[in-house]
Structure 1
Amino acid sequence: MLYDCAVIGGGPAGLNASLVLGRGRKEVILLDDDAPRNAVTQESHNFITRDGIEPVEFRKAAYADLKKYPGIVIQKERVTDINPADAVFHIQTEAGKNYEAKTIILSTGLKDVLPDIEGIHNFYGTSLFSCPFCDGWELKDTPLIFIADGAFSFHGVKMVSNWNKNIVICTNGKESLSPEQRDILAKKQIEVIDDEILRLQGENGQLKTVQFKNGKELHKEAGFISAKMEQAAPFAERLGLELTDMGGIKTDPYGRTSIKGIYAGGDNAAGPPQLVIAASEGSKAAIGVITDFVEETF
């Protein structure tokens, strides 16, 4: 079967794109490997009527919405390759299946690249977080550690300070802060520790202690990480799509990319990475698909 659109990725962007396409009377297949970026997240916030919802419950409710529309097919399969040929996109999956679509929406999202610190994955999503907009409210009264890693560390600290000014910054021996930035932090009475981190310790996802290679320890029960983000799937690069300076897929206001027939929406195309924003971007990409179908056939 030749689908009108194949949506690659079933996060909030892909789910909302599929909903708009299904309601737009298009034949759409949603291909998702069921490995969402927010799998470690306990709750999702800042989405009106859905504030505090568990990601698994959000997806369950989304699937229930999609099943109302007969034009939507959901396949839990990992896409391994996309090949454009003869005005059709040929899609291959890890299960060895092949699908064809007139257009595609890439909503594969981003993935977090955490600092190389022993134990960090044990606490990420439970007591260590990357987004203050998502978790700043819950940690507003808790003394925090901020693990600085990369060029955007200072910006991250500034954002966290909106919710909580009781912060200790750990650079893990990296040059993540300029002398000017350090001066500002000193004036704000925010301590900076430059010692290299040996490991993070705690139990049941709850951080307790930061151990440094020089033998020192810091007792903190929560914090934020300046995590790097990169494309979760290689398709943008493989297809030769134009990217933004931040590494996202460059699109127009309706999700159109630099290649005709390919649209993008969600964290992999726009930011900041928020549930409500990703859903909105998916909706806009689907509107772009339908608009272009109408323009070509009317």
Structure 2
Amino acid sequence: MEQENFEVIIIGGSYSGLSAAMSLGRSLRQVLVIDSGLPCNRQTPHSHNFITQDGEKPAVIAAKAKLQVDLYKTIHFYNGLATKAIPTKNGFEITTEAGKVFKARKILFASGVKDLIPEIKGFGDCWGISVLHCPYCHGYEVKNEKTAIIANGEMGFEYAKLISNWTKDLRLCTNGKSTLTLEQTEALKKHNVQVFENEIDSFEHTNGYIENIIFKNKEKIAVKAIYSKPPFEQHCDIPESLGCDLNEQGLLKVDFMQKTNIPGIYASGDCTTQMRSVAIAISTGSFAGALINKELIEENF
């Protein structure tokens, strides 16, 4: 790519980044989208709860979005990994893994998060297929099925309460000694939620579709779906290097205008919210793009 100077650089070219790019392209802005091609839902077979695209493959949605965004001639794409950023007099300078340097007045981080898969054999193979994190995205497809939740304590209790809306055939696996309170344990028992405290060894599955949870004591329980919220980290560490604040969950802090605490830096999508869905990523990206354009107008006028 010959062009090096842009008005906006978007780091992350999945749903949120592409949505922001479209807003900016329609605002006649010179934009560069840098994307490494590793969306967190790349293993998920179908996307749901996104009107007009319900049940579509995530990769198909993203490919169609990129084709549409590419029609705006002021939008440019760079396939690669952004590794460094420094402030400059007029904005920011971004360096990629390949050594390319690009400059922009504003940055939008739509870089998502990276799930830290636990060391349970089969977990990674099932993640996004039959090991799920969001009932609003995937709960309907496994409604009334034998379902397990991997969590403990307050999170486990609240998760069980939530998932009980989709199935009554539910068990809670604490993967070690339960930290539930006596009251929580009694409430789960009242709603026929079994609690398993044994440590998990592995998952038996076929092509990512869970069949059994195997415990370290060789006990086995049959399930069709599992809900789990493994820990995560920011997919891109550049925002922190620039001084952007994270909240207690490890998400980038943004205000109602999608601004971080660093002037000129915005963020949208999964790197900013626990509500990880295609629809919300697109919504926050579109909003961020419009707000970045407005800020540029105010500075230029």
Structure 1 pair 10/176, CA: closer, same or farther in 2 (3 Å)? farther
CA-CA distance at 1:22 after TM superposition: 0.6
% same residue = 35
Find the counterpart in structure 1 of residue 122 from structure 2: 119
AA matched with 2:270: D
In 2, the alpha carbon distance for the partners of 1:151 and 1:9 equals: 33
CA distance in 2, matches of 1:95, 1:149: 43
When residues 92 and 164 of structure 1 are mapped into structure 2, their CA distance, relative to the original with a 3 A threshold, is same
Deviations 1:233-265 (A, max 9, x none): 112221111222332222222211111110111
Distance, in Å, in 1 between the alignment partners of 2:217 and 2:195 is 16
Distance 1:244 1:226 in 2: 17
Counterpart for residue 99 of structure 1 = 102
- Mean Cα deviation higher: 152-161 or 194-203: 152-161
**Contact 1:153–1:176 (8 Å) recurs in 2:** no
- 1:155 maps to 158
User: Structure 1 length normalisation: TM-score?
Assistant: 0.95
Structure 1: segments with no counterpart, 5+ residues: none
Could you tell me which runs of 5 or more consecutive residues in structure 2 were left unpaired when the two chains were aligned: none
1:9 matched residue in structure 2 = 12
Show the counterpart of 1:62. 65
Residue equivalent to 1:87: 90
Residues 38 and 87 (structure 1 numbering): CA distance in 2 closer, same or farther, change over 3 Å? same
In the alignment, the residues of structure 2 paired with residue 117 and residue 151 of structure 1 have an alpha-carbon distance, to the nearest angstrom, of 22
* Cα offset, 1:200, TM superposition: 1.2
Q: Structure 1 residue 275: deviation in Å?
A: 0.8
Report the aligned-residue RMSD.
1.6
Whichever residue aligns with residue 146 of structure 1, its letter is I
* C-alpha deviation, 1:266, in angstroms: 0.8
1:138 & 1:176 partners in 2: Cα distance?
30
Pick aligned residue for 1:145 from 116, 139, 148: 148
Match in the other structure for 1:286? 289
Residue 242 of structure 1 is aligned with which of 240, 245, 254? 245
Tell me by how many angstroms 1:283 deviates: 1.2
Whole-Å separation in 2 of the counterparts to 1:150 and 1:236: 32
Question: Normalized against structure 2, the TM-score is what?
Answer: 0.94
Cα distance between partner residues in 2 of 1:53 and 1:177: 38
